[in-house]
Structure 1
Amino acid sequence: MSAFALRARYLLPVTAQPMAGGVVTIADGRIVAVGENTSGKPPIDLGDVALLPGLVNCHSHLEFSDLATPLGRPGMSMPDWIRCVLAARSERTQASSAAIARGIDESLECGTTLIGEIATSDWTPGPFAASPLDANVYFELMALSAERQQMQIEYACTQIRSDVFADSSARLSAGVSPHAPYTASLDMVREAALLGPTAMHVAESQEELELLACRSGPFRDLLSQRGLWRVDSFATSRRPLEYLHALAIAPRTLVIHGNYLDHEELAFLAARRATMSLVYCPRTHHFFAHEAYPLAVALNQGVRVALGTDSRASNPDLSLLAEMRFVAREFNHLDPKIILAMGTIAGAEALGRDDACGSIEVGKQADLVAVNLGCGQESPEELLLAHDGGISSVWVRGELVRCSADL
């Protein structure tokens, strides 16, 4: 690929100060210069846009990307919503690969160039192999009995050792995802965490906390109805902190949601920032009408907080930019630079991809997103987050993969 340069109203490297009229030079899919044109050709002028790194969506379930609207109703309980999910899966008439392909396309349209995807048992690499999207794929594990636990661990070992993930420089990497405390025993979490990078839903709902603390409530009712209740599966766990301890042995961990983590649990994550990250899914949190998210507390304690869309089963779309703008509205005291970092470099760090993704720096992949800006005197980050300008262009490794204008 011959060298070329892009110029924008604002260049937002994320790890450096914004540049008015900033230029970035790209060659062979990599960034070779920031702030100057070394291509030997006039730069391509993108106009009134902010040029930022490709967005990083740390949590998705793309199998639901064919849904036009979220399942259930806003404010419903997590166990009742899970009943809707189970019903939707039972009524599915085609393999999930078609929905995943649709979700990949939507993600790229929305400026996401790196994603953390939860893969269920019918996952196939085809949709990802056919796309330029980078992905960390976490294979979902569910087991409350010792017998099923062994089967799930063997399944995980087979998947993560697949030839699809054999090349360490490949676009796809593999990990495991013991689903949640109500579907994954503490013993299985410990064993799964030894296999590789791990992602787990933790402290997502009040009903989950009730199950752990009291061995009762709507989640126990749901498990009993499905013939899965085993009191011995929860014999040693009373709170999310015990699951965090189990997850801490993984080389890298995503703690998904964490809506109800307390101060001690957030401090635990902060102390292990090198390997543990919290993934906040703002609009899914809003869909369930949870209590206020502990974002300020987490950030003040030093927790790395990244962002995820979750799925169309609880969200109207897969736009990470919309998540960032939602955070800017809900936490209007928060520095917009922090919000931009949450959707880019923090996500890349959480996924272990910050050597190549998440910021505009020399040597990194040329994953870039151009976003139309509104008028105003605000900072470029404020203009990006306070207005509803759409995405005009997306590049992955220097290749233009989405474009709404002639370039």
Structure 2
Amino acid sequence: MSLHHVELAISASWIIPIIPKGRILEDSALIINEGKIVDIVLQSELQQRYQANSFIELKNQALIPGLINAHGHAAMSLLRGYADDLPLMTWLEEHIWPAESRWVNESFVRDGTELAIAEMLLSGTSCFSDMYFFPETAAEVAHESGIRAQIAFPVLDFPTPWGQGPDDYIHKGLALHDHYRSHDRINIAFGPHAPYTVSDDVLRQISTLAEELQAPIQIHLHETAEEVERAVSESGQRPSKRLAELGLLSPLAQCVHMTQVDESDLRVLKSSGAHVVHCPDSNLKLASGLCPVKDLLREGINVALGTDGAASNNDLSMLNEIKQAALLAKFQTMDASSLNAHDSLYMATMAGAKALGIDKQCGSLEVGKAADICAIDLSELTAQPVYNPASQIIYSQNQVSHLWVNGQHLVNQGKLSRINQESLIKRASAWRDKIRHA
């Protein structure tokens, strides 16, 4: 029997494909060719069926889909720890916005985005969503790094370092969308900042354009009780209802945070088909509130996970975010069976892919999908003994050993393949010194 020639075969003690949910394959191998998964076989069958140009054997390691960070502000990694221990609006209005006004430029975004991507790759993230100024620069850095990305260009009613107002932002954003229209790893989305920073006419325009282009929309929504209370006081409407009436909520919409959710919000989200992006660490640190994940899931609403920016989280590890989400769900419901290991891992993979509209490309280890693969080392002392690798990944501290995106080896034995880590640390330190001593 002739052997099939392929580019890469990766065998591991465990493979958690995500689809079907709850399945764990033991002593199996992924077969990869031209950047896609072409087969999943038992290790005992591998040499009988395939001849691979490269073969990687990962004993006592688990393969999972690359993690999907569905919301963040990558360049804000340069403001990590800059204004800690403050409530959201004080943090934003008195510290972050003034710092951004003074320091944010293309160079800041390039260095900050590269720093964030390096951290995300090393912690198992193969795809991230970004909403920040100078999205052209962020997209370029993502392209160069090899990571998969959704770049949401910001839209606000007022000037920022990137533009003069809504018309300017949308004009630049549409040009960016055209530039990356056929890119295999980078998608462009609309990023209206929040209901309290974008007016009705602009939101209607975004809704129309997004529907025409079938482009995603990501927006901060119901982030704090104060936001919702102020909206009701001023307009008589909860922000979710206002956005629904403006046509902004649809299966293209990604609603970030949603810490304040009542029954009317659940009905709006369910009927619209909009997605929710849960950012547990950031919401806890800013004391913004808790997203009612179990209520959302009960209604069939898709819930993805995001880290938010490093300025309001301090780390961009999706493994940390998954654990936090699982523990919070248990605490909120006072039910230890809430959001089990497989469900929380699903949120960080397949649910993220669905929210970003790329679930046909990635989010699970299935034949025909992109080879976005994360290998987690379960051989360390802190992982012993391994009864259930899924639980071990979620609840223990583990090391990401390898990461592939589109079959490209971006993390090899815990080391970045394309990014110069020493240079990056020096540049980040230079920004700290400049900002601190200003």
TM-score by length of 2: 0.80
- CA gap of 1:153–1:326, structure 2 versus 1, over 3 A, is same
Deviation at 1:251, TM superposition (A): 5.9
Residues 1:80 and 2:90 are matched in the alignment:
yes
Which residue identity lines up with residue 348 of structure 2 in the other structure? G
Residues 1:193 and 2:207 are matched in the alignment:
yes
Structure 1 distance, partners of 2:33, 2:189, is 31
Match of 1:113 among 126, 129, 144: 126
Deviation at 1:285, TM superposition (A): 1.1
Residues 1:336 and 2:341 are matched in the alignment:
yes
Which residue identity lines up with residue 77 of structure 1 in the other structure? P
Correspondences of 1:30-179 after superposition (within 5 Å): 30-36=36-42, 37=46, 38-41=49-52, 43-69=55-81, 71-73=83-85, 76-83=86-93, 84-92=95-103, 94-121=107-134, 123-124=136-137, 125-143=139-157, 151-162=165-176, 165-179=179-193
- CA gap of 1:143–1:394, structure 2 versus 1, over 3 A, is same
Residues 258-317 of structure 1, C-alpha deviations (whole Å, 9 max, x = no match): 1102122123222333xx200000100110223443111111111100000100110121
- CA gap of 1:165–1:357, structure 2 versus 1, over 3 A, is farther
Contact kept, 8 Å, 1:97 with 1:123, in 2: the verdict is no
Residues 1:361 and 2:369 are matched in the alignment:
no
Match of 2:322 among 321, 324, 332: 324
Aligned residue number for residue 391 of structure 1: 400
SS in structure 1 of the partner of residue 368 of structure 2: coil
Deviation at 1:27, TM superposition (A): 1.0
- CA gap of 1:163–1:142, structure 2 versus 1, over 3 A, is closer
Match of 2:221 among 183, 189, 202: 202
Structure 2 distance, partners of 1:269, 1:383, is 33
Structure 2 distance, partners of 1:345, 1:142, is 30
Structure 1 distance, partners of 2:386, 2:135, is 50
- CA gap of 1:126–1:305, structure 2 versus 1, over 3 A, is same
Contact kept, 8 Å, 2:109 with 2:134, in 1: the verdict is no
Structure 2: gaps (5+ residues) = 211-215, 331-336, 416-438
Q: Which moved more, 1:60-69 or 1:91-100?
A: 91-100
Deviation at 1:91, TM superposition (A): 4.1
Structure 1: gaps (5+ residues) = 216-234
Residues 1:380 and 2:389 are matched in the alignment:
yes
- CA gap of 1:194–1:236, structure 2 versus 1, over 3 A, is farther
Residues 1:350 and 2:355 are matched in the alignment:
yes
Residues 293-347 of structure 1, C-alpha deviations (whole Å, 9 max, x = no match): 3111111111100000100110121111110011222234222111011000110
Deviation at 1:187, TM superposition (A): 2.5
Contact kept, 8 Å, 1:165 with 1:174, in 2: the verdict is no
Which residue identity lines up with residue 212 of structure 1 in the other structure? A
Kindly, what percent of the aligned residue pairs are identical? 28
Q: Hey, which of these two has a bigger chunk of helix by percent? A: 2
Deviation at 1:253, TM superposition (A): 0.8
Structure 2 distance, partners of 1:267, 1:87, is 38
Which residue identity lines up with residue 404 of structure 1 in the other structure? Q
Correspondences of 1:292-331 after superposition (within 5 Å): 292-331=290-329
SS in structure 1 of the partner of residue 261 of structure 2: coil
Deviation at 1:363, TM superposition (A): 0.8
Contact kept, 8 Å, 1:266 with 1:298, in 2: the verdict is yes
User: What do you get for the CA RMSD once the two structures are aligned?
Assistant: 2.6
SS in structure 1 of the partner of residue 78 of structure 2: coil
Contact kept, 8 Å, 1:144 with 1:185, in 2: the verdict is no
SS in structure 2 of the partner of residue 195 of structure 1: helix
SS in structure 2 of the partner of residue 60 of structure 1: coil
Contact kept, 8 Å, 1:160 with 1:175, in 2: the verdict is no
Contact kept, 8 Å, 1:70 with 1:312, in 2: the verdict is no
Aligned residue number for residue 286 of structure 1: 284
Which residue identity lines up with residue 354 of structure 1 in the other structure? D
- CA gap of 1:131–1:121, structure 2 versus 1, over 3 A, is closer
Which residue identity lines up with residue 24 of structure 2 in the other structure? P
Structure 1 distance, partners of 2:178, 2:241, is 34
Contact kept, 8 Å, 2:190 with 2:217, in 1: the verdict is yes
SS in structure 2 of the partner of residue 317 of structure 1: coil
Which residue identity lines up with residue 315 of structure 1 in the other structure? N
TM-score by length of 1: 0.86
Structure 2 distance, partners of 1:142, 1:163, is 18
Deviation at 1:154, TM superposition (A): 4.6
Which residue identity lines up with residue 272 of structure 1 in the other structure? S
Structure 2 distance, partners of 1:184, 1:28, is 43
Structure 2 distance, partners of 1:405, 1:95, is 26
Instruction: Give runs of ≥4 in structure 1 deviating > 6 Å.
Output: none
- CA gap of 1:236–1:327, structure 2 versus 1, over 3 A, is closer
SS in structure 1 of the partner of residue 59 of structure 2: coil
- CA gap of 1:166–1:66, structure 2 versus 1, over 3 A, is closer
Which residue identity lines up with residue 286 of structure 1 in the other structure? L
- CA gap of 1:376–1:153, structure 2 versus 1, over 3 A, is farther
Contact kept, 8 Å, 2:158 with 2:164, in 1: the verdict is no
Correspondences of 1:8-27 after superposition (within 5 Å): 8-16=12-20, 17-27=23-33
